[in-house]
Structure 1
Amino acid sequence: MPNQEKKQQGLMKIIKAIHNFTVNDDLEKYRRSQANLGRLLGTKQSEASYTEFLIDDIPSEWIHLNRPHQNETIILYCHGGGFFTGSLEYSRTLTTKLASASSSDILSFNYRLAPEHPSPAALEDALKVWGYLMHLGYGAKNVILAGDSAGGNLALSLALKLKEDGRILPKALVLFSPWTDLTLSGASHEKKAALDPILTKDYLERARCAYVPESNSDASIYADPFVSPLYGDYTGFPPVYIQVGTNEILLNDSTDLHKKLLRQDVAAKLTIYKGMWHVFQMSNMKTATEAINEAAQFLFRL
């Protein structure tokens, strides 16, 4: 256990250093650092095969398990990274774990990133990928939406957009430490600042400014439901499962969303992991494995 704790502490220091990126730094260098982090976290590549391809101009990847598995339901995964970093490679550890535990194939994609492509570019790309799945013949009720951090935001935003357009909603959503409130008004931003080993409010402020540049002249745009899904209308939504750690400044982004979902009669479940940090599921800790398995059990019970 001590060796594992040392490894995790070292990993968190690396992540924290990566998140010290400033607007004056080399953005592409920062994105490469995130991809390298994904490789560092690594998982057994023999568990799955990876097929990269384009959906229109969107780099995408099928993750197929190299063993018998169910193929009735697939998972559409939205990677995290604050909307201005993250990639297929970065999320591969988590998507492979989720595919293995849930016995499901996963489609992951590289949506356009800010600041080159601010909101709503990411949502537009997510809608294209959703349309691709529908064109392949998957019914909406055969698709699980999932995502971590900013990807959790995007998964929620996609489902909200489908609802607004009167389209059939996905079977369920699975969210890992979702960033749901870009107003940054949750109490945990202050209460958990000293405990969070990964994120800082300054990092999130820089990320949201890149994602929504119009906020420089109108801060109220952060409360737009397609920017901050916490403020969306979830009546009629499918089941939602949320995981979050006690030691992260985005704790309230999950707890407040969960409360709202319950108020609007959504079958929502929230698991809060003591002592855990932002998207801890990417790590090799025993708790991370337990959390991924719990997410899979949620899907099995649908």
Structure 2
Amino acid sequence: MENTNNTNARGGLHIPMSRYSETSPADQAVTTAMMKAMRTIRSASSPAPAGQEELDRQRRGQKVLGRLAAPLLGLSWEPFDLNGLPAAWVRPERGHDPRKVVLYCHGGGYTSGSLDYSRPLASKVANRTGYEVLCFEYRLAPEHPSPAARQDALKAWDYLMLLGYGARDVVVMGDSAGGNLALALTLMLRDARRQLPRRLVLFSPWTDMTFSGESFTARAEADPSLTADYMLATRDAYAPGADWTDPLLSPLFGDFSGFPPVMIQAGSNEILFDDSARLHQRLLEQGVPCRMECWEGMWHVFQMFPLKQADQAVDHVARFLLDLF
């Protein structure tokens, strides 16, 4: 159910956004069971990737999560080498529009994530939109700290330009740290006076490495997936000793002049909720068209899971893109 009159009063913001909630007791039961399972997994894990052994375990776990997601019929998955970066095309086998493309930036706190991890959500996007999706595996911290991921994102962007796509043919999309990366890439393109992507779509973007949002502590008990310790550790691994107010690290503090329209989706139960809500506020204040959806009872990047609400959310993304092209 949609309610566009509510505001983010719990976080101290009063910016209108669309809110969605479970539509039936059955939906609620599935959501509750999945949240319980996620809390169990989280409680059995180390609070932060402190050592190489724990980091390797976490990276393997994310790959397994991606591989366990049921593949969608009617799509091809085509891995290849993108000038030294592992990459893959997700292509609808029928009825797709090869003139438009999505550049997908995976999440994982800049310390984990992979092609396998990006596959479930990238496949949903390709299925719903009919667009080809390019996934790429950027270098990870702490082995490769900032700015390695941004350099790799720019390499993926330049690859699309060399293939003959125009900037206006490209949607840049990302989840969590990938949302951070999508924003940083667009800032870099704008500052280099290059053409910008046609649209941005951000799933639970991490936009504030200073963690100054109220939700970072206020929603700690509600969040079944992320912890403050984990986020602090990944930040310190990615950008040790940095100025975390730098917009290329914390896009929330950036100048968004000239930005294309943006769509943001977040779950109400995530500690990074204010990273989305405050970004939404700043984009609107700077005159950037922006739509934000808050999905009640959902968690960080819920769209990748096998949930009715996840499929509905990706349907909304498809409408956002198809209506604007």
> Could you state the TM-score of these two structures normalised by the residue count of structure 2?
0.88
1:140 aligns with 2:167: yes
The structure in which a higher percent of residues are helix is: 1
Change over 3 Å in CA distance of 1:16–1:123 after alignment to 2:
farther
User: How do 1:241-280 and structure 2 match up within 5 A?
Assistant: 241-280=263-302
The correspondence of residues 92-241 of structure 1 with structure 2, limited to 5 A, is 92-215=119-242, 221-241=243-263
Unaligned runs of 5+ in 1: 216-220
Aligned partners of 2:260 and 2:308: how far apart in 1?
A: 29
Shift of 1:295: 0.7
* Aligned partner letter, 2:245: A
Matched residue type, 2:283: L
1:80-138 CA-partner distances (Å, limit 9, x unpaired): 00000000101101110111111111000000000000000000000011001000000
Report the number of matched residues.
296
Which of the residues 56, 63, 67 maps onto 1:39? 67
Q: 2:116 aligns with which of 89, 99, 102?
A: 89
1:69 maps to which residue? 96
The AA in structure 2 aligned to 1:224 is D
Distance 1:247 1:102 in 2: 27
SS in 2 for 1:94: helix
- Give the drift of 1:55: 1.4
Please state whether the residue corresponding to 2:90 is helix, strand or coil: strand
Q: Hey, what's the Cα distance between the residues in 2 that align with 1:290 and 1:29? A: 32
The alpha-carbon distance between structure 1 residues 246 and 16, as it changes in their structure 2 partners (threshold 3 A), is farther
Residue 62 of structure 2 contacts residue 112 of structure 2 at CA under 8 Å; is this kept in 1?
A: yes
Q: Secondary structure at the match of 1:118?
A: coil
Q: How far is 1:47 from its partner?
A: 2.9
CA change 1:198–1:9 in 2 (3 A) is same
Alignment CA distance shift 1:285-1:67 (3 Å): same
How far, CA to CA, are the matches of 1:223 and 1:282 in structure 2?
29
Q: For 2:30 and 2:270, how far apart are their aligned partners in 1? A: 23
RMSD across aligned positions (CA): 1.5
After TM superposition, give the deviation of residue 29 of structure 1 in Å: 2.2
Q: Percent identity among equivalent residues?
A: 48
Aligned with 1:22 (options 44, 49, 54)? 49
AA aligned opposite 2:282:
K
Provide structure 2 residue ranges, at least 5 long, that are not aligned to the other structure: 1-25
